[in-house]
């Protein structure tokens, strides 16, 4: 939970108010100046009216250089960030050919498969030569290769469900599956902090959508009771079916879902559960099987398990694992299966090889080493950050850790200062997070070594002092690992 | 005048008597030593009545919320439907499995077949240069990009690909998406919001329909590829509608319709758009790299300057033999999407090797424009050979690389039609080793165009491939459709 100090809230509101006032002033002068210029769009309404893109023009563009930084190498533990410059106060940015080598604390590379891997890459290149980069066809027509069938069986075995189906993009998986499962007359209850793809899928399905408080099974129970008793809006007919959608790890909070509580509530009220494991599959759990393994939930209790291959497996695409009947039904009706180009064969091979490494079927124990490495790294990093006095969110064992910034001015300050010291971090502001709760999000990888993490901690500590985000100052006796190392040296 | 004086006298007399009555002190009305005048009594009674009425509670029917026990009973009684309906008998779930690259000749379920099911229009699957550039990319960048575009997922090959496509098309800028169908259903909601008007063709495919639904704008459909219907719809929407000036209006069409193989008459659409002041969103997935003298798409084919089309989107999974999609237009259009297009902001970026494959594919097209002539001659040859197929007729445009065959006479129900077509496709595959497919429809798709057999012609097909296909089709359709 976020504990926002009172003074910080006031100063943040004041900063946003100031930025808003300045933005309005500039808009006013811009309107006067533009009224003199003739426009060649007579009769066409503008693409964005007035206040619709106010935030983009007046707030986001000022700090545009903190987002969308291009890189020139694989997103591994260290990568090359391309330098950019601007001649007109960040309105347009131009690339240069110069690059700086930085520590990567921002990419979703949980198990270190992002760069060329000794087991995966030769096999990927072989499959590229055999099947070429794309099948140019939808999966039901001529896009189904031997690799796709093999991966579906492997994913089903890995996750612990009878069958699975693949899609070429994680976002499309959610947006196209939810309409195929529930339509008008159904109810979707989703967590208040669910990802945009789930929100889009729920909206596209035509069912009624209700929200329950983030990670609160008691409130979920309340909402379920109220909805079942009340029935559909206005007609009060009973609901056709109810689906509850939660995520394994919430990417902006770093917390794990309270899955056992949610499952028991859903079983009691006969609602179906849909678990989105985009960030947690492959990254947590003793053998990497995700949040079910970590929290001791039987996969048979979750009706539909969804995941993506982008984060832990270093590829692209998504999957759904469920019972045989559901998968067959989806193969017949899901639009993403019938109308979308099938997943690129080299990407499929990358996932097959990555899962084999994780399961140890490649003959080495690299998979187990990676899994224990990421767990150790995440716990070490989180503990050290908390000892330094930062406000860090998220549970233990989760590789995602947001550090709270709050003030809008601290976002570019933190980001640019860290980049100057060769550490690349990701800062997130509105609209991905609530307005007052801007944060910097760290993603730990199994390919980070202990020295990398210590360097990262040093830089973050220095910059944190400069920028003033150590909201919980520590007592003097607690020394951090960094200081201990310095003392030894 | 005579009548006024007595009336005035009478009114004055009445007033005098009333005021005397009011001012006469009542001898017995002395309360606590205060003289009570007559009018005070009346006023006091009136006030007492008013206060009494106000103090009465108004009648509302009593609200009885459900008790906990009643809610428990309702929850116990409620039975949900099963999550998925039972599978119908005979539904085809198994799809043919490819065991080699999906080029003009491929191996399906163990035997070698001629492949007319892949939209490999320029024959780029298996091209050496493209595979080499992919291998270079894989060794340098790995497979995935591990992040969305805003958070270190922008790799320099993405930026190169975007500028290459913009240069090729002749537009100021373009933006890359990571999946073909997510392009159009992210672009439409980024520009069209609640209250806007969209005029769309009724034959657009599912991804466009999904985008239209997610945008929450008012959508009006016009008859498939019928310009008269479009003109009358536009006229109806703008005539006498003063408010229409202030809201955003869009026309959404596809260049080559996947569901029918028709080509949209762009010159007519641009003329209508300028007359009624609409913006055009053109979906060019199947015409990019196919139509036009050098493959630049529908605008080049009709000779329309590219600036007149506001937004062009395309999936790269067809002619360019890679995956992903792009959207191109003016700088304002493209910049707006970088922050408000959900498929761009909230999703991981395109794997870098696919972006470098796209760059090599566009380079190849620029250097070898003769491949377009091959494609066109193949399509013309196929049209000639299939023109006299018994029971089937070609209903797609003569220049479309998707050749659409539908039944001459429909049996009346779409399911039997589909069954017949599937039987034809199966037999052609099993008996003559030619791989063809029917068009498939999801039950979420609201397009009502008839289904048929779709043949994807490639520049890599040879004359003998096309002859084999036509003789096989003629033989099989003669035998299957002889009873109908």
pLDDT interval class at A38 (50, 70, 90): low
A104 touches chain B (CB under 8 A): yes
Mutation target to probe the B interface, by most B beta carbons within 10 A, among A193, A265, A316 is: A316
* One domain, residues A51 and A150: no
Residue B49's pLDDT is what? 93
Which of chain B's residues have a Cβ under 8 Å away from the Cβ of A71?
Answer: 152, 154-156
* One domain, residues A152 and A245: yes
Summarised one tens digit per residue, pLDDT across range A420-456 is 999 999 998 877 888 888 899 999 999 999 999 999 9
Would residue A312 count as lying in a domain? Answer: yes
A339 touches chain B (CB under 8 A): yes
Å between A441 CA and nearest CA of chain B: 10
| Under 8 Å between Cβ of B241 and B278 | no
Predicted TM-score of the model (pTM): 0.87
- Whether the pLDDT of residue B270 is over 90: the answer is yes
Residues of chain B with CATH 3.40.640.10: 128-367
Determine the angle formed by the axes of helices A345-359 and A146-159, rounding to 10 degrees.
30
* One domain, residues A316 and A432: no
**For A75, which of B149, B152, B277 is closest by C-beta distance?**
B152
Would residue A476 count as lying in a domain? Answer: no
Q: Which residues pair with B201 in a beta bridge?
A: B222
Would residue A478 count as lying in a domain? Answer: no
Q: How far apart are CA B191 and CA A314, in angstroms?
A: 32
Q: Which residues pair with A80 in a beta bridge?
A: A101
Q: Which residues contact B189 (CB under 8 A, 6 or more apart)?
A: B211, B214, B215, B216, B341, B342
* One domain, residues A277 and A173: yes
pLDDT-wise least confident of A97-111, B92-106, B237-251:
B237-251
* One domain, residues A155 and A248: yes
**Between B364 and A394, where is the model more confident?**
B364
B161 touches chain A (CB under 8 A): no
Structure tokens at A436: 């007052």
Summarised one tens digit per residue, pLDDT across range B107-166 is 888 889 999 988 889 999 888 999 999 999 999 998 988 889 989 999 999 999 999 999
Which of chain A's residues have a Cβ under 8 Å away from the Cβ of B338?
Answer: 68
B313 touches chain A (CB under 8 A): no
* One domain, residues A173 and A312: yes
Residue A436's pLDDT is what? 83
pLDDT interval class at A483 (50, 70, 90): low
A416 CB neighbour count, 10 Å cutoff: 14
Å between B50 CA and nearest CA of chain A: 40
| Under 8 Å between Cβ of B179 and B235 | no
**CATH code for residues B105-121+369-481:** 3.90.1150.10
Residue B27's pLDDT is what? 47
Residue A476's pLDDT is what? 46
Task: Give percent of chain B above pLDDT 90.
Answer: 38
> Are A241 and B80 a contacting pair at CB < 8 A?
yes
Residue B13's pLDDT is what? 81
pLDDT interval class at B21 (50, 70, 90): low
| Under 8 Å between Cβ of B264 and B227 | no
Which of chain B's residues have a Cβ under 8 Å away from the Cβ of A45?
Answer: 245-249
Summarised one tens digit per residue, pLDDT across range B108-119 is 888 899 999 888
Residue A187's pLDDT is what? 93
Q: Which residues contact B296 (CB under 8 A, 6 or more apart)?
A: B168, B169, B170, B288, B306
A 359-398 residues inside an 8 A Cβ radius of B: none
pLDDT interval class at A488 (50, 70, 90): low
| Under 8 Å between Cβ of B352 and B360 | no
Q: How far apart are CA B119 and CA B129, in angstroms?
A: 20
**CA closest to B116 among chain A residues:** A142
* One domain, residues A33 and A128: no
Return the DSSP state at A477.
Answer: T
A 206-265 residues inside an 8 A Cβ radius of B: 224-225, 228-229, 238-242
Q: How many domains does chain A have?
A: 2
Where residue A268 sits, what CATH number does that domain have? 3.40.640.10
Where residue A462 sits, what CATH number does that domain have? 3.90.1150.10
pLDDT-wise least confident of A117-121, A338-342, A482-486, B204-208:
A482-486
Summarised one tens digit per residue, pLDDT across range A194-218 is 998 999 899 888 899 999 999 999 9
Residue A158's pLDDT is what? 93
**For B317, which of A134, A195, A313 is closest by C-beta distance?**
A134
* One domain, residues A29 and A157: no
Which of chain A's residues have a Cβ under 8 Å away from the Cβ of B93?
Answer: 328, 331-332
Q: Which of A337, A359, A381 is the C-terminal boundary of a domain?
A: A359
* One domain, residues A236 and A379: no
The CA-atom distances, in angstroms, between B348 and each of B148, B343, B351, B352 are: 4, 9, 9, 11
> Are B323 and A168 a contacting pair at CB < 8 A?
yes
Would residue A111 count as lying in a domain? Answer: no
The alpha helices in A37-119, defined as continuous H runs, are 54
Would residue A419 count as lying in a domain? Answer: yes
Domain that holds residue A239: 119-359
Which of chain A's residues have a Cβ under 8 Å away from the Cβ of B146?
Answer: 75, 107-109, 114, 310-311, 314
**Between A308 and B242, where is the model more confident?**
A308
Q: Any idea what the Cα angle at residue A190 is, between residues A187 and A195, rounded to 5°?
A: 130
The ipTM is 0.90
User: How would you label A92-126 residue by residue, b for 16+ Cβ within 10 Å and e otherwise?
Assistant: eeeeeeebeebbbbbbbbbbbbbbbbebbbebbbe
Å between A396 CA and nearest CA of chain B: 23
Å between A476 CA and nearest CA of chain B: 36
Kindly report the average pLDDT of chain B as a whole number: 87
Q: How far apart are CA A350 and CA A122, in angstroms?
A: 10
> Are B119 and A204 a contacting pair at CB < 8 A?
no
pLDDT interval class at A164 (50, 70, 90): very high
Residue B88's pLDDT is what? 77
Q: If phi over 0 gives left and psi between -120 and 50 gives alpha, with beta otherwise, what is residue B216?
A: left
Q: Which of A325, A359, A393 is the C-terminal boundary of a domain?
A: A359
- Whether the pLDDT of residue A481 is over 60: the answer is no
A61 touches chain B (CB under 8 A): no
C-alpha closest to that of B292 among B355, B361, B220, B375: B375
E strand or H helix that includes residue A101? strand A94-104
> Are A69 and B152 a contacting pair at CB < 8 A?
yes
Residue A477's pLDDT is what? 45
C-alpha closest to that of B261 among B104, B449, B415: B449
* One domain, residues A12 and A67: yes
**CA closest to A350 among chain B residues:** B143
* One domain, residues A270 and A310: yes
CATH architecture of structural domain B128-367: 3-Layer(aba) Sandwich (3.40)
**Between B37 and B28, where is the model more confident?**
B37
- Whether the pLDDT of residue B414 is over 90: the answer is no
Residue holding tokens 């694992």?
A321
B255 touches chain A (CB under 8 A): no
Å between B138 CA and nearest CA of chain A: 7
Q: β-pairing, A242-247 with A208-212?
A: unpaired
> Are B144 and A179 a contacting pair at CB < 8 A?
no
Q: Any idea what the Cα angle at residue A338 is, between residues A332 and A339, rounded to 5°?
A: 155
Q: How far apart are CA B342 and CA B189, in angstroms?
A: 8
Task: Give percent of chain B above pLDDT 70.
Answer: 94
């Amino acid at each position: 939970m976020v504990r926002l100090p009172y003074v910080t809230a006031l100063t943040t509101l004041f900063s946003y108010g100031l930025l808003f006032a300045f933005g309005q002033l500039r808009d006013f002068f811009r309107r006067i100046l533009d009224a003199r210029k003739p426009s060649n769009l007579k009769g066409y309404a503008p693409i964005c009216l007035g206040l619709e893109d106010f935030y983009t023009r007046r707030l986001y563009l000022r700090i545009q250089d903190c987002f969308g930084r291009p890189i020139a190498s694989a997103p591994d533990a260290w990568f090359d960030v391309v330098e950019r410059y601007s001649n007109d106060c960040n309105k347009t940015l131009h690339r240069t050919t110069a690059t700086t080598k930085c520590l990567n604390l921002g990419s979703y590379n949980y198990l270190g498969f992002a760069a060329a891997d000794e087991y995966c890459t030769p096999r990927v290149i072989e499959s590229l030569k055999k099947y070429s980069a794309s099948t140019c066809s939808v999966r039901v027509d001529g896009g189904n290769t031997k690799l796709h069938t093999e991966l579906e069986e492997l994913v089903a075995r890995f996750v612990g469900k009878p069958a699975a189906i693949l899609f070429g993009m994680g976002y499309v998986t959610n947006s196209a599956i939810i309409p195929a499962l529930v339509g008008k007359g159904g109810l979707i209850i989703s967590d208040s902090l669910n990802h945009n793809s789930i929100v889009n899928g729920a909206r596209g399905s035509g069912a009624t959508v209700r929200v329950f408080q983030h990670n609160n099974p008691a409130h979920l129970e309340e909402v379920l009771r109220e909805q079942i008793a009340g029935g559909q809006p206005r007609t009060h007919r009973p609901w056709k079916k109810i689906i509850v959608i939660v995520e394994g790890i919430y990417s902006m909070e770093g917390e794990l879902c309270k899955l056992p509580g949610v499952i028991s509530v859903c079983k009691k009220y006969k609602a179906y559960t849909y678990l989105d494991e985009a960030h947690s599959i492959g990254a947590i759990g003793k053998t990497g099987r995700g949040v079910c393994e970590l929290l001791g939930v039987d996969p048979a209790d979750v009706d539909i398990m969804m995941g993506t291959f982008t984060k832990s497996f270093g590829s692209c695409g998504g999957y759904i694992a469920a019972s045989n009947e559901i998968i067959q039904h989806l193969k017949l009706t899901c639009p993403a299966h019938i109308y979308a180009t099938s997943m690129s064969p080299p990407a499929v091979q990358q996932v097959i090889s990555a899962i084999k490494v994780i399961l140890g079927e490649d003959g080495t124990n690299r998979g187990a080493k990676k899994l224990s490495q990421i767990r150790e790294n995440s716990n070490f990093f989180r503990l050290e950050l908390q000892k330094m006095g930062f406000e860090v969110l998220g549970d233990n064992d989760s590789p995602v850790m947001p550090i709270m910034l709050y003030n809008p001015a601290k976002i570019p300050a933190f980001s640019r200062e860290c980049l100057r010291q060769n550490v690349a971090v990701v800062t997130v502001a509105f609209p991905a997070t609530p307005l007052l709760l801007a944060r910097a999000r760290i993603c730990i990888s199994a390919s980070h070594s202990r020295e990398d993490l210590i360097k990262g901690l040093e830089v973050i500590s220095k910059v944190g002092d400069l920028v003033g985000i150590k909201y919980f100052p520590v007592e003097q006796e607690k020394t951090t690992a960094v200081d201990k190392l310095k003392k030894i040296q | 005048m005579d009548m006024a004086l007595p009336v005035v006298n009478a009114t004055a007399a009445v007033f005098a008597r009333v005021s005397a009555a009011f001012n006469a002190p009542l001898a017995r009305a002395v309360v606590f030593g205060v003289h009570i005048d007559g009018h005070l009594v009346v006023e006091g009674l009136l006030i007492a009545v008013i206060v009494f009425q106000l103090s009465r509670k108004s009648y509302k029917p009593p609200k009885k919320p459900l008790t906990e026990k009643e809610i428990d009973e309702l929850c116990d009684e409620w039975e949900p439907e099963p999550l998925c309906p039972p599978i119908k008998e005979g539904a085809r779930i198994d799809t043919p499995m490819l065991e080699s690259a999906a080029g003009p000749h491929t191996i399906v379920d163990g035997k070698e077949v001629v492949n007319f099911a892949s939209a490999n229009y320029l024959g780029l699957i298996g091209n050496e240069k493209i595979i080499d550039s992919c291998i270079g990319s894989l060794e340098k960048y790995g497979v995935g990009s591990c992040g969305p575009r805003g958070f270190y997922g922008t790799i320099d090959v993405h930026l190169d690909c975007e500028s290459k496509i913009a240069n090729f098309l002749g537009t100021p800028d373009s933006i890359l998406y990571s999946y073909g169908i997510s392009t159009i259903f992210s672009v439409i909601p980024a520009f069209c919001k609640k209250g806007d008007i969209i005029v769309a063709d009724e034959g657009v495919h599912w991804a466009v329909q999904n985008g239209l639904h997610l945008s929450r704008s008012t959508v009006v459909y016009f008859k498939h590829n019928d310009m008269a219907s479009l003109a009358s719809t536009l006229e109806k929407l703008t005539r006498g509608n003063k408010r229409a000036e202030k809201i955003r209006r869009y026309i959404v069409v596809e260049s080559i319709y996947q569901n029918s193989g028709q080509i949209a008459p762009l010159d007519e659409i641009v003329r209508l758009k300028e007359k009624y002041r609409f913006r055009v969103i053109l979906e060019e997935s199947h015409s990019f790299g196919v139509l036009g003298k050098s493959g630049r798409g529908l605008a080049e084919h009709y000779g329309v300057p590219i600036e007149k089309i506001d937004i062009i989107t395309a999936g790269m999974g067809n002619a360019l033999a890679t995956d992903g999609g792009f959207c191109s237009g003016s700088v304002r259009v493209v910049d707006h999407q970088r922050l408000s297009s959900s498929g761009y902001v909230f999703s991981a970026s395109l794997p870098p090797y696919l972006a470098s494959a796209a760059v090599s594919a566009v380079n190849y097209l620029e250097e070898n424009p003769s491949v377009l002539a091959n494609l066109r001659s193949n399509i013309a040859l196929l049209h000639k050979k299939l023109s006299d197929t018994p029971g089937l007729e070609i209903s797609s445009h003569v220049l479309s690389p998707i050749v659409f065959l539908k039944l001459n006479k429909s049996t009346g129900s779409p399911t039997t039609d589909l069954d017949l077509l599937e039987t034809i496709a199966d037999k052609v595959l099993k008996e003559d080793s030619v791989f063809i497919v029917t068009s498939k429809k999801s039950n979420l798709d609201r397009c009502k165009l008839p289904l048929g057999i779709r043949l994807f012609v490639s520049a890599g097909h040879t004359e003998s491939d096309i002859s084999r296909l036509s003789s096989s089709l003629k033989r099989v359709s003669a035998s299957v459709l002889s009873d109908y």
